[in-house]
């Protein structure tokens, strides 16, 4: 009975996290399209840091360690954004794929660390790898939301729904546990 209740709590965290990050991403879309006249790295670094601070907070809340999750998430986001800007001149937008995988793997390791108090590299790599692939496929499926580029004509409710669907599989891979493993969701 307790195991089923904890799994349900994990599913609730997935849904709540996906909705929260979708809302933040939708606001980000609006800010990028409305108030940022041209893309410069400081905006991307800020965006990545704030977005992943919030993702880390979601992971931290699920593990009852919100501050640690938020701080680590911010570092992952800043590192991911910096990695993109360092790699992009060398490999173009293919840098996005490399950074995407690295960020989700880092989030997988972070989630395991927050949950267990130790670095479970194998579990973190597995969960992060599944999250990278699943959320990457979902992100690809929704990536048409910015085309044609006409921010005044965008339907931000559609953006919110698309972002929710894009984050859902990543959070599911990181937060949902099965069987006896679900008993470790709380400390």
41-97 tens-digit pLDDT? 999 999 999 999 999 999 999 999 999 999 999 999 999 999 999 999 999 989 999
pTM value? 0.86
Tokens 């001149």, located at residue = 89
176-187 tens-digit pLDDT? 986 544 434 434
Question: Measured between alpha carbons, how far is 84 from 129 in angstroms, rounded to an integer?
Answer: 19
Give 65's contacts (C-beta < 8 A, 6+ positions apart). Answer: 114
Question: Measured between alpha carbons, how far is 41 from 106 in angstroms, rounded to an integer?
Answer: 22
CA-wise closest residue to 170 among 140, 129, 120:
129
Contact 165, 141 (CB under 8 A): yes
For residue 1, the model assigns a pLDDT of 44
For residue 6, the model assigns a pLDDT of 44
CA-wise closest residue to 115 among 179, 184, 35, 163:
184
∠ CA 125-131-133, rounded to 5° = 100
- DSSP tally for the chain: helices H, then strands E: 6, 0
For residue 173, the model assigns a pLDDT of 95
Whether the predicted pLDDT of 32 surpasses 90: no
What are the structural domain ranges in the chain?
2-185
Question: Measured between alpha carbons, how far is 93 from 85 in angstroms, rounded to an integer?
Answer: 10
Q: Residue 151 belongs to what H/E stretch?
A: none
Question: Measured between alpha carbons, how far is 109 from 138 in angstroms, rounded to an integer?
Answer: 21
């Amino acid at each position: 009975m307790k195991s089923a209740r904890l799994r349900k709590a994990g599913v609730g965290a997935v849904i709540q996290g996906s909705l929260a990050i979708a809302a933040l991403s939708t606001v980000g879309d609006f800010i990028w399209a409305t108030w940022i006249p041209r893309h410069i790295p400081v905006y991307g670094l800020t965006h990545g840091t704030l977005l992943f601070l919030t993702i880390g907070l979601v992971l931290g809340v699920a593990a009852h360690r919100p501050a640690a999750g938020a701080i680590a998430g911010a570092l992952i986001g800043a590192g991911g954004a910096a990695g993109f800007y360092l790699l992009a001149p060398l490999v173009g937008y293919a840098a996005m794929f490399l950074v995407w995988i690295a960020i989700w793997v880092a989030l997988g390791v972070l989630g395991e660390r927050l949950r267990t108090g130790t670095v479970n590299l194998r579990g973190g790599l597995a969960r992060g790898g599944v999250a990278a692939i699943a959320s990457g496929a979902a992100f690809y499926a929704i990536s048409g939301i910015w085309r044609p580029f006409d921010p005044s004509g965008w339907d931000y409710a559609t953006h919110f729904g698309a972002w929710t669907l894009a984050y859902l599989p990543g959070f599911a891979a990181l937060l949902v546990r099965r069987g006896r493993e679900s008993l470790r969701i709380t400390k």
